[in-house]
Each structure stands twice: as C-alpha cells, then as structure tokens.
Structure 1
Amino acid sequence: MRSCRLWTRLNSAGVFAFIALLIVTQWSYAVVPLLLAATLLAGLVFALRDADWQGLDREDGLFCLTLVAYGGLWLLDVWRSGHWPVGEGNQGILLPLWPLLAAVMLVWLRLFPPDPVVLWQGVGCGALGAGSIALYERVVLGHERASNGMNAIPFGNLALLLGALSLLAALWSSGTGKGRHPWWLLFALSAAMAGLLGSLLSGTRGGWIAMPFLMLLGHRAAAGLMPSNVRHCILGGVVVMLMVVLLIPQTGVSGRIGLAVDNVQQYWQDESRGTSVGLRLEMWRAGYALFLERPLTGWGEGHLEAARDALVEQGARHPGIRQHDQLHSDLIDTAARRGLVGLSVLLLLYLVPLWLSGGDSPRQALTPI
C-alpha cells in the first residue's frame, strides 16, 4: 500500500509538471514525459505486482489501441518512405514515438492514478503562465504576437486549451464538492480568462474560431452542476472580456481579423496568393490535389514535400508554400501524406474519446482519470 502511494504521488507530480510547464518553459513538453517514462521503467521492477490491474477497463483498451494504431501507422510510413520526420528546428524528431509512449503512459497512470485536484491545479497554473507570458510579450516587450519563443500557433492553441480546461476545473469542483472553496473557484476562473487571453494575444486566428464552440460546450457541461444564473454570469463575463480585448487596438486582435478578411479578398480576386491566409489556402488546395493522385496510402513521409514542390515548379501553386513542412491542416496533411488509411486512423484518434465519453453524465465526463 505504501508503494502504491509513492507511485501515485510521483505520477501526480509528473502530470502537474507536464501540464503546468507545457508552454511556459522550453522543452518541458519532451523532458517531463521522458522523466515519467523513467518512473514507469522503475515501476516495472518495483510496482507492477502491487498495481490494481482490475481498474483497467474496455475504454482503456480502446484508447490504447487507437494510440498504437496511430503511432504504428506513422512508423510504418517512415519505414515505407525511408524518411524520419524531424519538424521545424529538429524539435519533432520523436513525433512518431509519442503516440506509443502515450499508450504506455495511459496504462501506467490508470494503474496509479494521480490526484485529480493536482491535475486541475496544473491546468490552472499552465493557463495563468501562458496568459502572463502573453501579456508581458505584447505589453512590455511590444511583440506583434505572443509566442514564448516557440511557434505562435501552438502557443495560442495550447493556451486556449488550458483556458477551456480551467473552466472545466471550475465545473469539476462544483460537481464533486472537492475544492469548492471560493478561492479555488477564483483560481480556476482566473486561469480560464488568462488562457483565453493568451490565445487572443498570440494572434492565432484558428483558435479564435473554436472559442465560441468551446464556450457553448462549457455552458452545456455546466447544466446540472451550477445554478443557471451562475452559468449565465460566467458566460457573460467571458464574452465581455473577449469584446474588450477585441475593441482595444493595442491587443492586435481586431487588426489580425481585418487582415484575414483582406487576405481572403485578395486571394479570390487573384491580387495576391502569398499572404498568410493565401498560403494556407494554397497548401490546402495542393494537399487536396495530391490526395486525389494517391488516395489510398498517400505520398508518404518526405515524399509529400517533393510532390508539393513539383506543383510549385509547374506554376500550379505559390512558391511560398515551400517554407512549411506541414499543410496547416491535420486532416488535409494526413490525407495527402498517408491517404485514406492514415485519415481513417486520425479520425479514430479524434472520435474514439468523444464516443466513449458521449454517454457519460456531466460528473463522469469531468473526471480526468
């Protein structure tokens, strides 16, 4: 029993560090999971005999099978093409292995589940960190887009994710009675605002499209857990904050929206295809064309870029798309790179969690592990 408590505490610390530091410090997204993997290896020797294997269920198996299928197909594609993806700045060198590590870590965390309170605290700290960094970079340093030294797109999207999860943390505390102290609710709601602010100040327009849907999802999830007047007040507060950020020119949000509209107009009027939005549309059209040429298994890792460049040489697409190693859409990139086979596995990765949690009650759905 004492051994189980030790591994549970180590897992709690690892999960907290991973979520809280995910976009706050460089390389924590890789270092912390590897440290957790080292903990797992030690656990193979000392802890597995004490583990509660009966706690695993069919849902865990489906999650693991989906992750293994996704990672396995990626590795098979690497073997087929002879090209290992490295990503921008060689930061993605372990990308094909992460899904497999995630499957193993899922089993480990289910055997010795971390404290849910610690998990939600990590979410809140991560969101507060992202919002603080975004404010500092935009207001003090005067950066055009907050990014914390990484690509602004993942920074903004992850900040939005942490902000949305912080809203769920507030709902979880209301639904379970744990952490229902007013300070906990204030912490969770402040973290939610900070995460949303981090997304806005990053200039990541794709995340902004998801914001209304996330707000409606959170509002719906709160039904039965919070009084309707409290839900409406929280939703109204979030909307007011978003409108204030939108109306203040110094945040750059209204400018980014106006620029996107202008880019679309220029693209469809054939005035310019080399704008930010124009290049995305060019990449999507290139990906769709390449998918039609090899719809079943796609072009493969490394070969997709060569086929894309061939379209540029033919004058079919703008030369600016050569600068990117991904087509700025997981669905289109996967369809072109690994065909219908890869697209099917990617959709499983998206849809299996939704299907498994679709019949849960609000309290069950908000239970993290």
Structure 2
Amino acid sequence: MLPFLDTAIIAIVALVPLLAITVGGGSAIFYLLLLACLAACCLREGGWRASVHSLRPYRGVVAALFVMLGAIVISQIAHGNVHGPSIERGARVSVAFPIFLAAMLGIDRRHLQQALWGVVLAGLTAAAIVFWLALPAFVRPDTPQHNAVTYGNLMLLFLVLAAYGTGWHLTAGRRLESGFKIAAAAVVFAAFILTQTRTGWMAIPLFVVVGLWLFAKVKHPGKMFAALGVACALLVALGSTNEALRARVAQGIQEAEACQGAGATADTSVCIRLQLWRASRQIIEEHPLFGLGNTQRFIPELEARVATGVVSPFVSQNFGEPHNDMLNMLTSYGVLGGVALILLYGAPAVVFFRRLGASHPREVRVAAAMGLALTLGFAVFGLTELMFRTMKTLGLYVILAAWLLALSDGGAAAPPRARAPR
C-alpha cells in the first residue's frame, strides 16, 4: 500500500503546477494530496509518531508558518466575526504544510525528484497557450485562470526551476535530458516575454544570482556583481527586442510620473496600483493591530475613500485588493498578518540558503536553489501583484515549498517500509 501512496503523492505533486496554470481544480487536487499524505504518514513504519519525529529538524519552520493561522484567528476574534475562506487559507499554510513535508520526507529522493517533469510540462503548456493567444499579431494574451501578470510570473518561476533542474539526472540519457530542460526553459522564456509582464523582470536578477551561486560557484562579491551585470545586460537586450514590452515599460514610467496632483486618481495601470497602495496605507494606519478582520472588507473601505479623492470610482468598483501581498495581509489581519507573510517567505528561505552551501551534495544544492527561487521569487512578485489572490496559488506555493524542503534534506533517502501487520 505504501509504495502506491508514494507514487500517488509524486504524481499529484507533478500535476499541481499544470492544473494551477491551466484548467484549475486547485482545491480538489490540494485536498487529494493532503489525504494521500495523511495516509502515508500513518502507514509508514512507526506510524504517525515516526512522521512527527521526522519533522523535528523543521520545528522552527513549522512554528513560523503556524503564525499565519494564528494571525487570522486573532484578527477575527478581535472583530467578532468568522470568515471561512480566510481560515481555510491559514489552515493550508499552518496545518497542511507539516503534513505534506512529513509525508515527502519519507519518500526516496530519487523518486520524488521525478515530480520536476510536472513543472516542465506546466511551463511548456502555459507557453503553448500564450503563443496561441498572442501570435501572430503579438498582442498581450488574455490568459486563462490568472491575469497576464500572475501567469507570466508563474511561467518565469517554472522555467527557472527547469533550468536549475539540469543539475539533476532523472533519466539514463543525461545529455539529452539536460538539453531538453534548457530548450524548454528557452521556449517558456520566449512566451514569458510575450506576456509583457513587467513584474517578473524585477525577479530575474535574483534568479541569475542564485543560478551563478549554484552552477558557477561564484562567491567573490566583485565577480558576482560583474557576472550579474553582464547577465542583466543580456536580458535587457533580449527583452528590448519585443517592441510591445518596450512600450509597456515606457508607458509605466509615464503613468507613474502622471499619477500626482490632479492626476492622482487616473485610471491607468500604474496609477491604479498607486491608488490602491495609498488607500491601503490609510487602512493600516487606522487598523494597525488587527486589520479589517478579513479580505472582503477592503471593498467598502475603498468605496468610502472615493469622496476624499484617494481612489477613483472605477478603482472602488473594479478592484477589491491592494495588488500587493504584504499590504493585503496588513490591511486584512494587521501587523501579525504582515509578520506571518514574512515568515511564510523567510522561514523556508533561510533553510534553503543554508543548504545551498558548497559542503552539501549537488542534488541537495539544486533543490535548495529551486527553493530560494520559489520563496524569494514569490516575495518579489508580490510587491506589485497579489500572487496569493486565489487558493490555488497559495496551495501551489505550500506544496512546492514542502517538496523542495524534502528534496534538499541532507538525511538518508531510503524508501520507507509499511508497518508489518499484527
């Protein structure tokens, strides 16, 4: 029974990125994986006690992620209301994460690595959709499941994981496998450019630094900055070949400059974000400790600020969130919510950072580099976009974080055995 569950867990983890970016079904696949992981934790040798014991090195991470549920519950108690979706979000982070991690720690790493093919397939599928929607006129695609910004950010993350994944050998044909992963990353990057997403480009220097640390082992600060400068110059040159992207960058600069004084409530892409951020700052100043209690109360707060000229009527009627993950947590759940988000990024990132050191085996370092790309990438993406807008992106983050923590674990990767019947 246990080998079947392990295989099922690996298959589901591989499916999660594909479903998250194409047809949806995020909640169903999330809870299916949760059920499989619960069963695996109970059936392995030693039962659930052994699973709990395997989490001892991760007590700090588990405790840090439990702050998310605590922040939400405390905020709702303070306001005397119960918002089910908010509690579910907190439970996905605080309760489901340790169950995912405990189950995956008991799976042979060589087998668990195979889930990377799901990430590669998700990237290629998303790229095919973008090419279909954008070509031949090179229009900005109206992507499914997510807006173009979130879609482009996830595509960029998937291609980075595929590129780092050349450090793993998952098949007998090593050269062919590496070539395929590099080609897949190149195809997805071309599609990413077509999404005309400005947010994703801010994270690329970070991904380049992590990649240099992983593959080139460049540690001297001078050499690192020089290599980073060259890489960024090449990326800028490549991005500038897309006329529509160049136009969007120039347009963004113009909109930011115009969003002042009489133009402070202009309904342009950049100015809309600035209006949402100004309103969020006011809400945080008025409700610093516990926020509003849930995400739904942000909408009436926006509507109340139309009369004072903070936001335009268009923004109050069409936008129900701050377009920033940190501001969303602070306005919804107060200062503890902001701390919870920092810990959601930072606690796993610290573990990944330590495991990226040269003293660890290559396979561990590859997983650690992927984990840094995931955690810090989402942190950068969340500066100008609400990456955790939906349950499926939050679930995707939690599942991938647990998967990469298990893969970067330096312990033995021997496959677990089922308990002998009594």
Question: Pairwise mapping of residues 149-164 of structure 1 onto structure 2 (< 5 A)?
Answer: 149-164=145-160
Matched, 1:292 2:249: no
Match of 1:27 in 2: 24
Match of 2:37 in 1: 40
1 CA distance for matches of 2:196 and 2:18? Answer: 22
1 CA distance for matches of 2:193 and 2:98? Answer: 32
What one-letter code is carried by the residue in structure 1 that aligns with 2:278?
A: R
Match of 1:306 in 2: 300
Q: Which SS does the other structure have where 2:83 is aligned?
A: coil
What one-letter code is carried by the residue in structure 1 that aligns with 2:256?
A: V
Q: Which residue of 207, 214, 232 corresponds with 1:214?
A: 207
1 CA distance for matches of 2:108 and 2:63? Answer: 20
Match of 1:256 in 2: 248
Report the Cα offset of residue 94 of structure 1: 5.1
Question: Pairwise mapping of residues 38-187 of structure 1 onto structure 2 (< 5 A)?
Answer: 38-43=35-40, 46-47=43-44, 49=46, 53=51, 56-78=54-76, 81=79, 82=81, 84=83, 95-99=89-93, 100-112=95-107, 115-140=111-136, 143-173=139-169, 181-187=174-180
Matched, 1:194 2:187: yes
Cα distance 1:270–1:189, how it changes in 2: closer, same or farther (>3 A)? farther
Asked if structure 1 preserves the Cα contact closer than 8 Å seen for 2:78 and 2:290, the reply is no
Q: Which residue of 271, 276, 281 corresponds with 2:269?
A: 276
Q: Tell me the TM-score normalized by structure 1.
A: 0.82
Matched, 1:327 2:322: yes
Match of 1:337 in 2: 332
Report the Cα offset of residue 118 of structure 1: 0.9
Cα distance 1:241–1:350, how it changes in 2: closer, same or farther (>3 A)? closer
Cα distance 1:179–1:336, how it changes in 2: closer, same or farther (>3 A)? farther
Provide, for residues 178-233 of structure 1, a one-character-per-residue CA deviation record: whole Å limited to 9, x for no partner.
767111111221222233333322232211211222122212221349xxxxxx99
Asked if structure 2 preserves the Cα contact closer than 8 Å seen for 1:286 and 1:311, the reply is yes
Asked if structure 1 preserves the Cα contact closer than 8 Å seen for 2:17 and 2:122, the reply is yes
Report the Cα offset of residue 289 of structure 1: 1.6
Cα distance 1:266–1:71, how it changes in 2: closer, same or farther (>3 A)? same
Report the Cα offset of residue 331 of structure 1: 1.2
Match of 2:257 in 1: 265
Cα distance 1:83–1:306, how it changes in 2: closer, same or farther (>3 A)? farther
Provide, for residues 86-106 of structure 1, a one-character-per-residue CA deviation record: whole Å limited to 9, x for no partner.
6xxxxx995444223233222
Cα distance 1:244–1:39, how it changes in 2: closer, same or farther (>3 A)? same
Which segment is superposed worse, 116-125 or 75-84?
A: 75-84
Cα distance 1:353–1:338, how it changes in 2: closer, same or farther (>3 A)? same
Q: Tell me: higher relative CO, structure 1 or 2? Use CA pairs within 8 A at least 6 residues apart.
A: 2
Q: Which SS does the other structure have where 2:263 is aligned?
A: coil
Structure 1: which 5+ residue stretches go unaligned? Answer: 87-91, 226-231
* Runs of 4+ in structure 1 over 4 Å off: 44-52, 78-81, 140-143, 177-180, 235-242
Report the Cα offset of residue 159 of structure 1: 0.7
What one-letter code is carried by the residue in structure 2 that aligns with 1:7?
A: L
Cα distance 1:270–1:330, how it changes in 2: closer, same or farther (>3 A)? same
1 CA distance for matches of 2:134 and 2:87? Answer: 31
Asked if structure 2 preserves the Cα contact closer than 8 Å seen for 1:161 and 1:195, the reply is no
Cα distance 1:185–1:241, how it changes in 2: closer, same or farther (>3 A)? farther
Asked if structure 2 preserves the Cα contact closer than 8 Å seen for 1:287 and 1:336, the reply is yes
| Paired-residue identity, % | 19
CA RMSD of aligned residues (A): 3.3
Q: Which SS does the other structure have where 1:358 is aligned?
A: helix
2 CA distance for matches of 1:269 and 1:6? Answer: 63
1 CA distance for matches of 2:45 and 2:113? Answer: 24
Report the Cα offset of residue 109 of structure 1: 1.9
Which segment is superposed worse, 277-286 or 143-152?
A: 143-152
Q: Tell me the TM-score normalized by structure 2.
A: 0.72
What one-letter code is carried by the residue in structure 2 that aligns with 1:365?
A: R
Structure 2: which 5+ residue stretches go unaligned? Answer: 219-225, 368-403, 408-422
